[in-house]
Structure formats: C-alpha cells, structure tokens
Amino acid sequence: MTGGPYLLVDDADGVLRVVFNRPQRLNALTAAVLRAAADTVEEAAADARVRVITLTGTGRAFCTGADLTDAGGDIAPVDGSQAGEPGARRYGAHGTAESGIDAANRLIRAITDVPKPVVAVVNGPAAGVGCSIATACDLIWAAESAYFLLAFANVGLMPDGGATATIPAAIGRARAARMALLAERVPAQRAFHWGLISAVVPDDQLAAEADKVVAALATGPTAAYAETKRALRASALAGLDHALSQERAGQLRLFRGADFAEGVRAFQEHRTPRFTGA
C-alpha cells in the first residue's frame, strides 16, 4: 500500500505503518499529505485487519512541521517551524491557511478517535505540527537524539494541531506554557522525565524496541484497547475539539498580523524579530 511518494503506507500482520517520506525536507508536510494520512487512519478504523497503527518518518526527522514551499499551492503555513523559506513570502498567492489547518485538525481527530492504539515512533525532531501529531498518539517511543519543539512563537504564531490540549494534558499547564511561549526545544530525555512521551531509547535500538511494543499490541485485546482509548479520550482530552476550534480561529487571525510578517522577515534576515503585538 502507498499514500503517494511522500506518505508510505504498509499493512502487514495487523500493523498499519504510516511513514512521512520527505527526508530531504525533514518530512515537512503539505496539506495533501496531511489529508492522505487522515484518509489512511480513518479507513483503518473500520478495517478489522488493522489492530495497531504506527507513525514515523524517514531519514533523520519525524516531522518538522508544515511545508511553506509547496509549489502546488495546496497549503498555507500551519506553524512557524520553517517560516523563513521562500513559500512564506508567497503565502498570499498559494492556497489558504484554512486548508492547511483543517487538514492537520482532521488528522489529529483521526488519530485520537480511531479505536486502535496509535504509536508514534519519533526518530528525530518533532517540531511544529509534527510535535502536535506525535503528542496526539497514544504511545510515543522516541530516540535519544529526538526532540520536541513548539516553534510557533518565534514567528508570531500560536500552537495548533491540538497541542494546546494534548500537551498540557500530558505535562501540565506550566510546562506546556514554557514550551509554547518560550519555544524551547525539549530533548527526548527531558520529555520522558516530564511525562510527555512513553519511552526514550538509544537511536540504534529505536526500531527494534518499538517493534516489540507494536507486536504486543497487535496480538492484544483489541476491544479492550478501544474501550480504554475511548475512556482516556473522554477524560484527558475532553476539551480537544474546543481547543482545535480555538487554535484555528486564533491562528487565522495571527496569519494576518504584522508580527507574523515580521517574524518571517527576521528569520530570512537571520536577526531577532522586533514584534509590536500587532
């Protein structure tokens, strides 16, 4: 199975493996890839052959956020992780912010709603909406070299992809605010200590250790997992849908603001941005 050249999909032995496959762009995502990933996870919900889903990336990154340089014009910025690249300058002429945000939100809902365990295998940086996708998963196995980053504030934006719900649910409001407001890089070991992720293992052992967990889930009590996941979603992430709506509205306002434009210019010019609050 395949979701196109930038999304690899394989289904074997009860495991649906979804792989972001743009290593030359550190697995930055277009709206088209986000929609394809959402399609894949949504379809798995009704497929009895699928008992567990994994998400990972090829190369040295899990996902560094939204691709602002999509030549097809199918995406506008979803986050600030790459805002200094040429596509940011072409923002007004290529697609709409709504398409990217809505595609990301659909994937987050698919991950949290599918009645099967979803395991993020974080092989490298998980930044911007990549961090949001990883933290929406039920289990997160990360390599020691991986890190988690909400870089949005650096270009005058706010977190999206449900991060304002999933991250505080995992690590509390104070640490979530530290990640979101200061745009601090959180190394995998600290992320594990904080409770953001499930496990951290040496880089060369990540695939093998994740495979053990996934194999156990694939032969486990699927119905029990579904009910457990449903209950956890209702208790720990009861506010997720509201957060997604608030993020969408706030981010669209910020895209039109002077601070976002200044953040992009500052990134391109390799200087500290001069934000005015506008």
**Residues 23-76: tens digit of each pLDDT:** 999 999 999 999 999 999 999 999 999 999 999 999 999 999 988 554 333 333
**Residues 144-181: tens digit of each pLDDT:** 999 999 999 998 999 999 999 999 999 999 999 999 99
**Whole-number pLDDT of residue 264:** 83
2 occurs within a structural domain:
no
Model confidence, pTM: 0.90
1 occurs within a structural domain:
no
CATH code of the domain in which 175 resides: 3.90.226.10
77 occurs within a structural domain:
yes
Residue 123 near residue 57 (C-beta atoms within 8 A)? yes
Residue 18 near residue 54 (C-beta atoms within 8 A)? yes
218 occurs within a structural domain:
no
Residue 244 near residue 108 (C-beta atoms within 8 A)? yes
pLDDT over 90 (residue 86) = no
Residue linked to tokens 């600030």: 80
- For the chain, how many structural domains are there in total? 1
* 248 class by beta-carbon count within 10 Å (0-12 exposed, 13-18 middle, 19+ buried): middle
Token pair, residue 198, equals 């499930």
Which residues constitute the domain of residue 190? 7-203+224-268
**Side-by-side strand order, sheet with 126-127:** 126-127, 147-149, 186-187
Averaged pLDDT, 135-142: 98
Residue 84 near residue 260 (C-beta atoms within 8 A)? no
